[in-house]
Structure formats: structure tokens, C-alpha cells
């Protein structure tokens, strides 16, 4: 039997929030804006694994700048949909960021704990500048004050998956963003 694509695998618990087309248009706009802000300086994109991998790949290709990238990984989430509140660095960068223009690229800004922690950590390494780019922002969920420099979409307080975002490692490969509905969202 022919295997089903990711859209078919997605069960009825998923409600569309952003289409792949809407995301592509917005990411291209963010690329234009970031390029205008940094031109002609090179930038280093720092992606936060695993969720930001897909966003970073698209954002990097939308920049009209010399751009390199590296990844780190932090964890604040357990197996459910709520943050444990404690952020840990699981994987560090392999690049030296001192005297470089660094843009931390994150899938979603939620409580703010992860980016707050990461920015404090990276600032100690003396980058030339440090900014943040997030695809999604849920401002109503903030536990620490944090404002991203570049925001794709501001969304309400709902758990979302797709375009890199997961629920228990599922749904990351969906090309759009979906609300995770039903009882699963309350785990």
C-alpha cells in the first residue's frame, strides 16, 4: 500500500492555523527585513534545536547576506505540553561567537524562559550584537519579560505543532502549523 503523506497522518485532533504558503510569505518578509538591518555585515544564525531547524533553513535562504549557522539545544519541556520552568543547555555551539553578529533563531516564544536563559548565556561570550528571531510568539504566556526582535506571527495561548514544532516528537514535518486540540492538549 502507498504510504500516506504527513497531512494524512495528521489526525483530526489537528486544526490548521497557518498554511505553508502563509509561512513562506512571512519568512520571506522577515528575511528582507533582517537583510536590510545587517547589510553589508555577515550574520551567524544560532538555531535552537530541534524545533527551529526548519524555520532556520527557510530563514537562512531568505537572507540577502553572508550568513552562517550553528545550533544549540536547550530543554525546558518534559513529555507534556507544559514547561518544567528549568532550562538546561543540552548541546553547546561549535562556533566561537565573539565579535560576530548573532541572531538566535527559535520556533516559538512562550514563557520566555528559554530565550531569556540563552541570551544571558550567549551575551557572556561577547558577540558584536545579539538579536532574536522567532516564528511564533505567544505573549500571553510570558513568565519572564522577553521581546523578540523579529516575530513571524503572534498567536493566542494554544499548543501548536508542525513546521518544526512537536508534541512528543510528532508532527515536526508538517509543512503548516496546527493547533493541537482535544484532550491531548491538556497532558
Which residues of this protein are in contact with ligand IMP, per CB under 6 A?
48, 51, 76-77, 83, 106-114, 159-161, 165
- Shortest distance (Å) from residue 48 CB to ligand IMP: 6
Tell me the closest approach of the beta carbon of residue 105 to ligand IMP, in angstroms.
11
Alpha-carbon distances of 75 from 11, 89, 113, 146, 175, rounded to whole Å: 27, 7, 10, 18, 24
> Do residues 176 and 23 make contact, with C-beta atoms less than 8 angstroms apart?
yes
Q: Please, which residue, 38 or 138, has the CB nearer to ligand IMP?
A: 138
Catalytic pick among 70, 110, 157, 166: 110
Q: How far is the CB of 37 from ligand IMP (least distance, A)?
A: 23
Which element (helix H / strand E) includes 8?
Answer: helix 6-9
In sequence order, the 6+-apart residues with CB closer than 8 A to the CB of 157 are 138, 140, 141
> Is residue 149 annotated as part of the catalytic site, yes or no?
no
Please say which residue, 98 or 140, places its beta carbon nearer to ligand IMP: 140
97 three-class SS: coil
- Whose Cβ is closer to ligand IMP: residue 38's or residue 159's? 159
Positions marked catalytic: 110
Amino acid at each position: 500500500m502507498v504510504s500516506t503523506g504527513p497531512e494524512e497522518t495528521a489526525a483530526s485532533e489537528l486544526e490548521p492555523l497557518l498554511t505553508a504558503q502563509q509561512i513562506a510569505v512571512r519568512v520571506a518578509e522577515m528575511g528582507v527585513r533582517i537583510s536590510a538591518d545587517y547589510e553589508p555585515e555577515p550574520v551567524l544564525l544560532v538555531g535552537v534545536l530541534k524545533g527551529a531547524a526548519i524555520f532556520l533553513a527557510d530563514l537562512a535562504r531568505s537572507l540577502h547576506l553572508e550568513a552562517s549557522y550553528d545550533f544549540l539545544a536547550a530543554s525546558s519541556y518534559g513529555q507534556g505540553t507544559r514547561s518544567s520552568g528549568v532550562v538546561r543547555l543540552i548541546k553547546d555551539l561549535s562556533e566561537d561567537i565573539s565579535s560576530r553578529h548573532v541572531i538566535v533563531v527559535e520556533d516559538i516564544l512562550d514563557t520566555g524562559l528559554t530565550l531569556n536563559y540563552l541570551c544571558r548565556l550567549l551575551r557572556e561570550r561577547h558577540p558584536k550584537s545579539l538579536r532574536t528571531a522567532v516564528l511564533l510568539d505567544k505573549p500571553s504566556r510570558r513568565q519572564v519579560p522577553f521581546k523578540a526582535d523579529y516575530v513571524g506571527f503572534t498567536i493566542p495561548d494554544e499548543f501548536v505543532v508542525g513546521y518544526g514544532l512537536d508534541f512528543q516528537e510528532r508532527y515536526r514535518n508538517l509543512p503548516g502549523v496546527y493547533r493541537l486540540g482535544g484532550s491531548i492538549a491538556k497532558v
